[in-house]
Amino acid sequence: MKRAKIARISAMLSFIMVFINGVISVSPAYAATNLTVDLSSVIGPVTHAAGGSLYGIDVSQPDNALIIPLHAKTYSNPAMSGPGAHRPEGDGVPVAQRIANTDSKVTLRLADMNPNWYDFPGWPDGMIR
């Protein structure tokens, strides 16, 4: 009985020492790092490969004079919008018609057709909806 009590106390003290050592550890100090960027060197032409937006444009905003010079690759918009939809504006089909004369494309986000998309239980349920 006395041996078991000593073993428990010893185990508890070991745990406390390991815990304190893990919590109160000293981390080494590091010198500040400087990052230098040489903007005079050219890697290549601008490709606009990462240009675009998520819900960034709708049927009327922003003005074409602001979005056309961006040469964006894609705009991600909901497949449908309005009352009961996930997004109140930015219906993808009218937006695609709006930018049809540019090189940009519209990606329709089908998950946004369901206002409760965050409760999506899986593909079979999604096909029913």
pLDDT computed for residue 22 by the predictor:
65
pLDDT computed for residue 10 by the predictor:
81
52: β partners? 74
In the sheet that holds 74-78, the strands lie side by side as 52-54, 74-78, 105-109
Is 60 part of any domain? yes
- The segments of the chain whose pLDDT lies below 50 read none
Of 52, 128, 124, the C-alpha closest to 95 is: 52
For 82-89, the CB contacts below 8 A with 24+ separation are 84/115, 85/112, 85/113, 85/115, 86/111, 86/112, 86/113, 86/114, 86/115, 86/117, 87/55, 87/112, 89/58, 89/59
pLDDT computed for residue 106 by the predictor:
92
pLDDT computed for residue 6 by the predictor:
81
pLDDT tens sequence across 85-108: 777 778 889 999 999 988 899 998
pLDDT computed for residue 92 by the predictor:
87
pTM, two decimals, is 0.53
Distance between CA atoms of residues 78 and 59, nearest Å: 12
The domain in which residue 94 lies consists of 52-113
Distance between CA atoms of residues 58 and 76, nearest Å: 10
pLDDT computed for residue 31 by the predictor:
77
pLDDT computed for residue 96 by the predictor:
92
pLDDT computed for residue 122 by the predictor:
75
Is 70 part of any domain? yes
Is 62 part of any domain? yes
Task: Tell me how many domains the chain contains.
Answer: 1
